[in-house]
Amino acid sequence: MTPLLEVEAVSVRYDGFEAVTGASLTVEEGRTMAIVGESGSGKTSLALAVARLLPPGGEVVSGSVRVDGVDVTALRGADLRRARGRLVGYLAQDSMAALNPVLPAGLQVAEVFETRDGTRRREARHRAVELLGQVGIQRAGEVAAMYPHELSGGMRQRVMIAMALALRSRLLIADEPTTALDVTVQAEILALAAALQADHGVTFLWITHDMGVVAEVADTVAVMYGGRIAEQGPAGEVFGSPAHPYTQALLETVRGGAEAPPKAPFATIAGAPPAGVIPPGCPFHPRCAHAFEPCPEVVPAMVDTGPGHRAACHLLGVGR
Amino acid sequence: MLLAVLAPLFGDPYATPVDGLTPQGLPLGVGSPGHLLGTDSLGRDMLARVAFGARASLEIAFISNITSVGLGVAVGLVAGFYRGWVEQLLMRITDVFLAVPTVISGLALASVLGTGVLGIATVVTALYWAWTARIVFGETLALRRRTFVEASVAMGAPGRTVIRRHILPNLASLIATLAAFNGAAVVAIGSGLSYLGAGIQPPQPEWGNMLAEGQGAIDYAPHLLIVPLLCVVLTVFGFVLIGEALSRRGAQSLQRSWLDI
Amino acid sequence: MARYLIVRLGLGLVTIAGVVLLTFVLQFSLPGDPARRIAGPRASPEVLATVRANLHLDDPVASQLVTYVSDVAQGDLGVSYIRRRPVIDLVKERLPATAVLAFGGLLVEVLLGGGLGLWDGLRRRRSRVLAAGNVVLLSIPTYSLGFLLLVVFAYRLDLLPLGGGTSLEELILPALTLGLFGVPYYAAVVSESTRTALASPYMRTAVAKGLPRRVILRRHVLRNCLSPVITLAGLDVAIYLSGVVFVESVFAWPGIGQLQEQAYNELDRPLLMGTVIIAAVVVVAFNLIADVVRVLVDPRARVEEAG
């Protein structure tokens, strides 16, 4: 099976600052890949690059992104507009801000049918209400006439999902869509995503810093740090035998490691993630417990550590 | 820019032998050696007249700008800081003055307060203080909720001290901007009232009443209209430029647009 | 919504009551004897006494105030000294001309100001030309602008009439004058809200949906500009009515503004005060209407007024 999303050596730059460096990953159709990292790790920039939604001033300076065989970084003008949404949909974290405050929720779904399929207004409204029902909104007809601020966070996120369904996006980027929601609503949205995947074969690229969400949704995982992918592989592999010291530390913060003192329920990673300037060599070396000579100078190469499981760490080179 | 505001003042009316009231040459001359800006229908020198007119117009503007901004700031501060019935009383009065249309009430007030420089300055003050009061009130309310002001109040500092030490300094640049734009407005309304016949009365020259006189001569001697007109426009222009400069200070930003991606 | 309306209506009535009180005080401070103004300089003492009695001029001040307020409340603004007709009738006669002028000016400022603002807002950088033009327009008082247009178009170029009537041709310059005065404000407000809309996350959503540019502009940008424009229009009425007085005077437009100017020059006290009250009622009414319309077009405002 050919992958639906192929990201190859992508670097993203904002006015001189490199937010993503040489990131490569693939996602199979109908699967979910989670990109994990702290804020500033470059995960959102990478996702925006895939969706062609980098803000003005940000650009993909090298590498390529192919969605369903189409090189989206090369799309321009009308081709780009037609491809938007059809290839990649985008679920933002802040659904309140992402919906137009002065337009009814239903219209914001229906306008997709109107403008993209040339559906008549009434029919478009009808189909929008139908979709709102499909994403689990009760009394969808009434909700369609309501404005974003009248809806709960969970409902708004469902409206965003309905929008993506209307677009029939091949790939759906979920940029921490559940972060702002409380736990029960979060679980409902995750269940909805799983149902959509089963029914419609939606492919997800799920951006998060929440390992719990990763465990719930992900088939494969990519861990990002300092603009680079530190480790990637099948979720079970990465969770079961993390190869990169950063991934190990990240997992420890959730589980509490064996050597964690009994009175500290939450382990933390010493130091702070890079802000502004990314250290030379391996970006994680200033905080890494295992750093040795090459780490501050040489950028570690990706090394295969198992079937589809790769990591970029000098320790792995030493082991061979 | 400042030159534009002050230019009329340089033609010091006292230094010229021409007083702008007695005819000095042929009527309706347009720029002759003795009369740089020509003469009016009675042969009075236009340069002297606009210079004299500047005195009246700018005196009115100067006085009423200070008094209207001063009154507005005082009312806005007190209403915004003390709240309660003080706020209700002061802001309802402000509402009344905001609701009466400027020019119409200006005419009505002028008929009571008289048409001298002080009378018109009072009229203009009455018409304009409420705008400043409204804006200063809103800003004071916002400042009142800021932590450093609340802390100061909670520690028992007297209201006057809090206003002087914490609120006024934070309002300073807003007040400066308001004063500049208010200056532009009062120059315009001051000479506007004179134009309508409610300001300084002829024969004493004032830009507004010169405009009214010039309007009748639009067909055959347009300079009678254009000279005082340019004086008003340039003066207002000066104030607006100052206001723009004050309000733009550090606010120029390049915003991003999602349509550009 | 109903509660909000009642509160706003109440505040409006308080404001109007304040204006009525103000005009009452002003009438008292005016020089001259109203009875003599009405009866004429050669009237006999008996006639003067009758007139004074009719006007309740000899009653105590408090009782005069009561009479005045109850008259105003019933729509009786008194009788013009010069024209010998009820003020309210005179105002009604002149209202259509002023309404046409005001509407024409509003059209100019919304279309021209809004159009320029949209154009400026869609540019990557603000247009310096527009900014300079705004400053210049702000600097030209309404009547001066009227004169400038009059000199250039009617006198120099002889394209349009000098004014004095109410034909469509004669409407162009006054409406343009009135509208141009407001253009900088509308341009600034629309430009600002366009920029805010373009930079907001919901715009990213709209772009991400692959909507055509015209749908984005019409539905997602313009809809968001509507509310600030309505707020501005509501706040603007008081200033706008002042512009009307000047414009009617410069172009000899036979509306309420001109009536007002004449009332001043003729020292026609009831007419002067009557028009002040009428104008204040118009201002308060339009502020209220603007508030209500804003709540109708901007769903967010419904939350504000409820909270």
Tens-place pLDDT, residues B174-219:
888 888 888 888 888 888 888 887 777 777 778 887 887 777 776 6
- Tell me the average pLDDT of chain B: 77
User: What is the average per-residue pLDDT within B124-146?
Assistant: 88
State the pLDDT at residue B34: 55
Report the alpha-carbon distance of residue A24 to residue A312 in Å, rounded.
12
| CA–CA distance, C193 with C225 (Å, rounded to integer) | 6
Instruction: Say how many CB pairs under 8 Å bridge B and C.
Output: 171
Say if residues B77 and B163 touch (Cβ distance below 8 Å). Answer: yes
- Average pLDDT of chain C is 82
Band (pLDDT 50/70/90 cuts) for residue A222 is: very high
DSSP H helical ranges for A76-152: 77-83, 95-98, 105-117, 121-134, 140-144
Give how far the C-alpha of residue A4 lies from the chain's centroid of Cα atoms, to the nearest Å: 15
Residues of A in contact with B260 (CB under 8 A): 56
Q: Are the C-beta atoms of B251 and B21 separated by less than 8 Å?
A: no
What is the mean predicted confidence (pLDDT) over B218-246? 80
Whether residue C306 is predicted with pLDDT greater than 50 in this model: the reply is: no
Indicate yes or no: CB of A97 within 8 angstroms of CB of C202: yes
C-beta atoms of B108 and C273 within 8 A:
yes
User: Could you tell me which chain C residue has the CA closest to the CA of A104?
Assistant: C299
CA distances from C223 to A112, B5, B176, C190 (A): 18, 41, 34, 11
Question: Percentage of chain A surpassing pLDDT 90?
Answer: 36
Residue B134 to residues B63, B92, B98: CA-CA distances in angstroms? Answer: 21, 11, 9
Instruction: Find chain C residues with C-beta within 8 A of B239's C-beta.
Output: 139
By the 8 A CB rule, do C184 and C134 touch?
A: yes
pLDDT tops 80 at residue A313: yes
| More confident site: C129 or A108 | A108
Rounded to 5°, angle at Cα C288 from C179 and C236: 25
Q: Is A77 on the interface with B (CB under 8 A)?
A: no
CA distance B56 to B193: 13
Residue B27 is predicted with a pLDDT of 52
SS3 A152: coil
The encoded tokens of residue A81 equal 């507009």
Exposure string for B139-149, b = 16+ CB within 10 A, e = fewer: bbeebbeeeeb
Say if A201 is an interface residue toward chain B (CB within 8 Å). Answer: no
* Pairing of the two strands A220-225 and A32-36: parallel
Lowest pLDDT segment from B167-176, C65-74, C140-149 = C140-149
B20 — pLDDT class (breaks 50, 70, 90): low
Residue A163 has which token pair? 């929008």
Q: Is A185 on the interface with C (CB under 8 A)?
A: no
* The amino acid at C26: L
Burial class of B252 by CB neighbour count within 10 A (0 to 12, 13 to 18, 19+): exposed
B12 pLDDT tier (thresholds 50, 70, 90): very low
Torsion angle of the four alpha carbons B166, B167, B172, B175, in this order, in degrees rounded to the nearest 10: 180
Q: Does residue A107 surpass a pLDDT of 90?
A: yes
Q: What is the CB neighbour count within 10 angstroms for residue A62?
A: 13
Instruction: Search chain C and give the residue with CA nearest B96.
Output: C15
CB contact under 8 A, C195 and B255: yes
Residue in C14, C138, C155 closest to B219 by CB: C155
Contacts of C117 (CB under 8 A, 6+ apart): C186, C187, C188, C189, C190, C191, C192, C194, C225
Residue C129 CB neighbours (<10 A): 9
Residues of chain B with Cβ-Cβ distance to C246 below 8 Å are 103, 192, 195-196
Residue C305 DSSP label: H
Run of H or E including A9: strand A3-14
Predicted confidence at residue A108, as pLDDT, reads 94
Q: Which residues of B touch C273 (CB under 8 A)?
A: 108
Q: Quick check: bond before B203 cis, omega within 30?
A: yes
The model's pLDDT over C112-169, given as tens digits with 9 standing for 90+, comes to 999 999 998 888 777 777 777 777 777 777 777 887 787 777 766 666 666 666 677 7
What is the spatial distance between Cα A250 and Cα A268, in angstroms, rounded to a whole number?
Answer: 8
Task: Return the higher-pLDDT residue of C268 and B23.
Answer: C268
In this structure, what token pair is assigned to residue A92?
């933002």
Lowest mean pLDDT segment, chosen from A73-77, B2-6, C210-214: B2-6
How far is Cα A32 from Cα A172, in angstroms, rounded to an integer?
Answer: 9
Q: Which residue has the tokens 């733009």?
A: B248
The phi, psi pair for A282, rounded to 5°, reads: -75, 120
CB nearest to B256's CB, from A52, A53, A57? A57
- Alpha-carbon distance values, A2 to A29, A114, C146 (Å): 8, 32, 72
Which member of A100, A112, A116 has the closest CB to residue C220? A100
Mean pLDDT value of segment C207-212: 90
Cβ atoms C78, C34 nearer than 8 A: no
In contact, B91 and B59? CB cutoff 8 Å: no
Q: Which residues lie closer than 8 Å to B18 by C-beta, 6 or more apart?
A: B24, B35, B45, B47, B48
d(CA C202, CA A293): 48
CB distance C267 to C32 below 8 Å: yes
Residue B116 half-sphere exposure, CB side, CA atoms within 13 Å? 3
Q: Is the pLDDT of residue C73 over 90?
A: no
Q: Tell me the pairing of strands A302-306 and A309-312.
A: antiparallel
Q: Pick the residue with more confidence: C81 or C116?
A: C116
φ/ψ region of A55 (left if φ > 0, alpha if ψ in -120 to 50, else beta) reads beta
Smallest CA-to-CA distance from B47 within B3, B10, B1 is with B10
Which pTM value belongs to this model?
0.78
Please say if the pLDDT value at position A2 is more than 80: no
Which positions ≥6 away from B77 have C-beta within 8 Å?
B136, B137, B140, B163, B167, B168, B171
- What's the average model confidence in pLDDT over C291-302? 76
Q: B229 to chain C: which residues are within 8 Å by CB? A: 144, 147-148
Percent of chain B with pLDDT over 90: 9
- For residues A223 and A230, the answer to whether their CB atoms sit within 8 Å is yes
Is residue C24 over pLDDT 90? no
Predicted confidence at residue C158, as pLDDT, reads 65
Q: Which of A66, A65, A70, A99 is nearest to A82 (CA)?
A: A70
Q: What is the pLDDT of residue A233?
A: 92
Q: Is A277 exposed, middle or buried (0-12, 13-18, 19+ CB in 10 A)?
A: exposed
How far apart (Å, rounded) are the C-alpha atoms in residues A41 and A253? 17
Query: Edge-to-edge strands of the sheet including A309-312?
Result: A88-91, A171-175, A203-208, A32-36, A220-225, A228-234, A309-312, A302-306
Residue of C nearest to B197 (CA): C265
Between strands A88-91 and A203-208, the pairing is unpaired
What pLDDT does B218 receive?
A: 66
Tell me the three state secondary structure of residue A16: coil
| Region C269-298 average pLDDT | 84
- State chain A's mean pLDDT as an integer: 86
* A81 interfacial to chain B (CB closer than 8 Å): no
Mutate to test the interface with C, among A100, A103, A171 (most CBs of C within 10 A): A100
d(CA C85, CA C269): 13
Encode chain B in three state secondary structure.
CHHHHHHHHHCCCCCCCCCCCCCCCCCCCCCECCECCCECCCCCEHHHHHHHHHHHHHHHHHHHHHHHHHHHHHHHHHHHHHCHHHHHHHHHHHHHHHHCCHHHHHHHHHHHHCCCHHHHHHHHHHHHHHHHHHHHHHHHHHHHCCHHHHHHHHCCCCHHHHHHHHHHHHHHHHHHHHHHHHHHHHHHHHHHHHHCCCCCCCCCCCHHHHHHHHHHCCCCCCHHHHHHHHHHHHHHHHHHHHHHHHHHCCCCCCCCCHHHC
Q: What is the mean pLDDT of residues C62-85?
A: 84
Interface contact B197-C151, CB threshold 8 A: no
Is-contact B184 B241, C-beta < 8 A? Answer: no
Kindly tell me if the per-residue pLDDT of B11 is higher than 50. Answer: no
What tokens appear for C294 in the block?
């804003």
Geometric angle at alpha carbon B251, from B246 and B252, rounded to 5°: 110
Residue A256 to residue B45: CA distance in whole angstroms: 94
Token reading at C133: 């033009």
